[in-house]
Chain A
């Protein structure tokens, strides 16, 4: 092993290209596979009496893509944070190449050869790619050399990047590339990727998998955190499944089905959502006519010529990579920002472009934003007060300016009952609920108002599978009762499961909707990447 260690510890010399070729050689001779690259033994993290992870053993071998599967709150991120030195374990041991390892911080992890690409990028929008990379390196190398090396590493791995471009000009996929290249420039032996495909189009994800396969062939180990089971089956050699902080099983994902993996993650069969038979579409309930909206912050997205028509009984999905104008569209539809012309947005036959969010609610619209805490709810207020937050517009909660506490509590109780919101007491603070339960409450709060139009953004983002099924079923049931439902999501599986039609947002434009039955991943992926589909151009020609 010492032979391997020495060679891997070579810091890149002046001629990087040599280093890259040298690097793969000793690795390919290796391994007896006697000692894992990284080993955790009984790793435990305790917060008060709560066990975030409970004696977890994992062995990570070189030349392995190891999946870490689990629902939200299963302990995935707690485990990864310990391995990357961000938090200290309460009990247990970590071994690196057979030797005990303690990490005082991420820089020590990086020095050993552990790299991490997190789900949330830590990039400065106003700096260039090279400047951002320089900030993340421990940096004794002159900036110019670093820039050159950056370009070289990027090209070697087929992750082209222009070091001089400012980050705000880049797409989300390109931003993720920066994070990956930044990690690779430290020549890690072990790379942790946290939900890397969450922000990618299917095609971009395919490209990423090629890179990961290559890193694996070079002898590196990868810990791949995901809840996309098909991906894991395709890519990963081993999977460790966590549930409630415990390791539930280790398996070879190729030998499992998506359903069996899901069962291990959730601990029960996941209920399938069912669309009501014979849902009929009725009158147009939400119409957007050539909506244009200027930027309100310099890094936002301008909405251009957005038109859609959504009938009662129908669910329309909006797909797209994050940051292509979905948030701006939500603000425009909800009335958090007003449209230039009243006719640009029509809710249930009333021109509403100039109306406030409260007036739009009075017309029968309801909204569920992407951020649960701080946008959809006030984190440190009780659920009853959060019911009032959107309920004050049109319900019995306010009479002559006075609030009716009984009506607020009744809404909490009904949402709790119908949507199975689990909480410690009758009326706790919003922040004390788990993500899934809070989302069920938010969706429930809006559905209990019997809206005729529901605009919902990322309905099941970061929500456990059980809660996601409840929420999706609620959306289907609402549409079945005659409401129009607009769902924005980055999860194509979710959109395919519940929508009737899917449109794609790209750079502030909205594509023509496709019938969901006709919307293959390939077609959607192309639209998400900014291409136009041939037959749609043909349609346009007919229309013109």
Chain B
């Protein structure tokens, strides 16, 4: 018997929905094996990862807080990927946004600046993220440089620049030499939605972004343009769409969303600028985008799921002494399986028998 992949006449919608679920199941199976090898009970480890965080209010809020940047960035990345350009550097755009917004917070520190500070910070974060993303986009459009490499390399530039700022010019004089800025003033801080709760404005913004993307992609000619450029560049030119313009646009949007997520993270849960403000949101959002099938609603669900793995991973570290790196392995496996399962949308498996009978059949 021979197992072959056979092209389907039309994409299968059932499999398109099932593929992320199959991928999650395969990931869980693989993780169980990995836990067993690590000498941990797979059942209780999976329980700590995927069930426990769902059982108390604090964790549930924390999942939403962690999901917000993942979803925002994932939405932006999905636009790039739909247009068939590969922004891998959302982490760098996030840091660029965080740095740019923090500049205003640092400069207005201790002054009696009014309520305009936070909105301006958010705006600056988004603009900086967009500009930072436009560097690889322009290099691609102008010189044909691979956006995959340039966007990825710019992550490290942003990372080290932030590092320099908090160790040098922006370091909190009263901070015992820790590499961090002073705690932002209340006017430079993202307010919590409910007093004392963890949920903050970023969660609301993420939901608005999801709705906006759904409208953009499903209802507008701009969204159609993005999808056509990604699906068939020659047909796009025939349709009168300029692919370079779409590349610049999608990079700018995804950079802006990553930058916005960055400054919200700094001005919200973290409260000051320091190295390590993001546990790799920009990279994890790539998984979110694909797990969500590049669909806004899907990305919302996928963002919540990956946030769950972050929270679950932290709890597993505390409760079962499972290293945090295992969470990264889990996320990597998930991406791997999602991409593998995606081939089933356009192809199906078939068993064929190459037995010699076939050649002597009907006479």
Contact = CB atoms under 8 A, between A and B. Distances in A.
B11 A401 contact: no
B234 A374 contact: yes
A315 B312 CA distance: 70
A55 B350 CA distance: 22
A428 B10 contact: yes
A42 B363 CA distance: 6
A377 interface: yes
B361 A92 contact: yes
A378 interface: yes
A511 interface: no
Interface string B223-251: 01001100110111111100000000000
B142 interface: no
Contact of B363 (A41, A47, A88, A371): A41
A376 B237 CA distance: 10
Contacts of A381: 227-228, 231
Contact of A336 (B228, B238, B358, B362): B238
A113 to B, nearest CB: 20
Nearest to B354: A88
A334 interface: yes
Nearest to A381: B231
Given A91-B358, A356-B240, A429 B10 contact: yes
A357 interface: yes
B232 A90 contact: no
B220 A403 contact: yes
Contacts of B6: 47-48
B218 to A, nearest CB: 9
Contacts of B240: 335, 356-358, 361, 392-393
B239 to A, nearest CB: 4
B221 interface: yes
Nearest to A331: B237
B107 interface: no
A369 interface: yes
B222 interface: yes
A404 B350 CA distance: 40
B9 interface: yes
Contacts of B9: 431-432
**Residues of B contacting A: mostly:** helix
A93 B221 contact: no
Nearest to A334: B238
A153 B306 CA distance: 67
Interface string A33-46: 00000000110100
Contacts of A379: 231-232
**Residues of A contacting B: mostly:** mixed
A390 B238 contact: yes
Contacts of B227: 381
Contacts of A432: 9-10
Q: Which of B6, B219, B231, B240 has the most CB of A within 10 A?
A: B240
A378 B219 CA distance: 18
Given A92-B362, A93-B360, A376-B235, A401 B221 contact: yes
A258 B10 CA distance: 37
A84 interface: no
A429 to B, nearest CB: 5
Contacts of A375: 232, 234-235, 238
Contacts of B236: 378
Contacts of A533: none
A115 interface: no
Given A380-B231, A388-B224, A432-B10, A91 B238 contact: no
Interface string A16-56: 00000000000000000000000001101001100000010
A389 B235 contact: yes
A402 interface: yes
A314 interface: no
Given A44-B362, A380-B231, A357 B238 contact: yes
A389 B239 CA distance: 5
- Which of the four size classes fits the interface of chain B? 20 to 34
B221 A102 contact: no
Given A389-B238, A402-B219, A431-B10, A378 B361 contact: no
A90 B358 contact: yes
Given A374-B234, A390-B239, A42 B221 contact: no
A361 B237 CA distance: 13
Nearest to A47: B6
A158 interface: no
Contacts of B235: 374-378, 389
A55 B361 CA distance: 10
Interface in B341-363: 350, 354, 356, 358-363
A428 B222 CA distance: 22
A371 B239 CA distance: 14
B361 A401 contact: no
Q: Which of A94, A389, A402, A432 has the most CB of B within 10 A?
A: A389
A55 B360 CA distance: 12
A378 B229 CA distance: 10
A389 B224 CA distance: 9
B224 A385 contact: yes
A403 B234 contact: no
Interface in A439-479: none
Contacts of B221: 388, 392, 398, 401-403
A392 B241 CA distance: 11
A435 interface: no
A154 B237 CA distance: 42
Contacts of B231: 378-381
Nearest to B362: A42
Contacts of A393: 240
Contacts of A334: 238
A366 B11 CA distance: 30
Contacts of A390: 238-239
A357 B234 CA distance: 13
When A and B form their complex, which 8 residue pairs have the shortest distance between CB atoms, in order from nearest? A358-B240, A91-B361, A42-B362, A389-B239, A378-B232, A357-B240, A432-B10, A378-B235
21 contacts: A44-B361, A88-B354, A89-B359, A90-B358, A93-B359, A93-B360, A93-B361, A100-B360, A367-B238, A375-B232, A375-B235, A376-B238, A378-B232, A380-B11, A381-B228, A388-B221, A388-B224, A392-B224, A393-B240, A401-B220, A402-B221
Given A93-B361, A375-B232, A379-B231, 13 more contacts: A88-B358, A89-B359, A93-B359, A93-B363, A94-B359, A100-B360, A371-B234, A374-B235, A378-B232, A380-B11, A392-B240, A393-B240, A403-B219
